[in-house]
Structure 1
Amino acid sequence: MTRLRREFALFALGGLIGFVIDGGIAQGLVRMAGWNAYGARAVSFFVAATFTWWWSRHHTFADRESGRDSRSEWLHWIGLMLVGAAFNNGAYVLALHLFPALHAWPAVAVAAGSVSGAAANFLLARAVLFRTVKTTV
């Protein structure tokens, strides 16, 4: 398997886990804590993005480096993921707008958003943050 395919597969797996975290937290906050779907998504996205940074750092891009310490790398990751989040959250809001019944089931709208932001997130992470292949000395 080529490095690009391997990275994409691992990124997709991390994204799937991130989706479960994102959708689960959003759904839980709406159903169990009475939050609205928008506020719940703000929290769920932040937690899921933190997980996907950790996953990408240790699995997806383990053969690459950012040249940054952990804190700086995490901050850069969050910044880059906000670009993907524009696509992600745009699709989420559009789904909620077009299908009002999804206000009670925000995990479905999270899925629509996750798919739309995934490609942008992968390209940004690989090309901007984890762009340098680690060398063995």
Structure 2
Amino acid sequence: MIATRQTLFFGIAGTVGFLVDTAVLYLLKGWLGLYWGRAFSFLAAAATTWILNRTFTFGGRVSGHPPLKELALYIGLMTIGGSVNYLVYALLVTHLPLFARFPALAVAAGSLSGMTLNLLSSRFLVFRHPDMAPSGQELSDICVNNKQ
């Protein structure tokens, strides 16, 4: 159940990230061009998905790192996932005629590969520790017990 919830929330965060990526690219492309604009839009999208995944997807887990170090680790790992996405796409359209004829299939395969790697790296490398902070109920119990 937890894995399904995390996968769903990770997908939602990724969708929001895609929208941020696209919006920032369109805002910047006139000034920075398509390549530099995309570099900044990727960083904006990665920071957005980090916030969403940190808060919702993996809300009960922590990295054990200060927030800026955690963000840098997250962006680094997402960059690796993005590279796998592109590599799978490129290999499929280069070597298999079906994917060259229907490149959306290669985009889908690349996206699924990259998303899977990003989900696993987020879960097991970034947000790998269960949150040791007391829950709201535990805090309430502590306060009540200390008053007695």
Same fold (TM over 0.5): yes
Report the equivalent of 2:37: 40
Q: How many residues align?
A: 120
The answer to whether residue 116 in structure 2 is matched with residue 119 in structure 1 is yes
Separation of aligned partners in 1, 2:85 and 2:23? 16
Structure 1 gaps of 5+ residues are: 99-107
The answer to whether residue 13 in structure 2 is matched with residue 14 in structure 1 is yes
Report the equivalent of 2:128: 131
The answer to whether residue 75 in structure 2 is matched with residue 78 in structure 1 is yes
User: SS of the residue aligned with 2:54?
Assistant: helix
The answer to whether the 8 Å contact 1:19/1:114 transfers is no
Amino acid paired to 1:16: T
User: SS of the residue aligned with 1:85?
Assistant: helix
User: Would the alpha carbon gap of residues 48 and 67 (structure 1) be closer, same or farther in structure 2, given more than 3 Å must change?
Assistant: same
Percent identical: 34
Amino acid paired to 1:39: W
Structure 2 gaps of 5+ residues are: 95-103, 139-148
Structure with higher RCO (Cα < 8 A, 6+ apart) = 1
User: Would the alpha carbon gap of residues 88 and 38 (structure 1) be closer, same or farther in structure 2, given more than 3 Å must change?
Assistant: farther
User: Would the alpha carbon gap of residues 5 and 18 (structure 1) be closer, same or farther in structure 2, given more than 3 Å must change?
Assistant: same
- Higher Rg: 2
TM-score calculated relative to the size of structure 1: 0.73
**Alignment root-mean-square deviation, CA:** 2.7
Q: What do the CA deviations read for 1:87-109 (whole angstroms, capped 9, x no partner)?
A: 345578x5xxx9xxxxxxxxx9x
Separation of aligned partners in 2, 1:35 and 1:82? 21
The answer to whether the 8 Å contact 1:64/1:134 transfers is yes
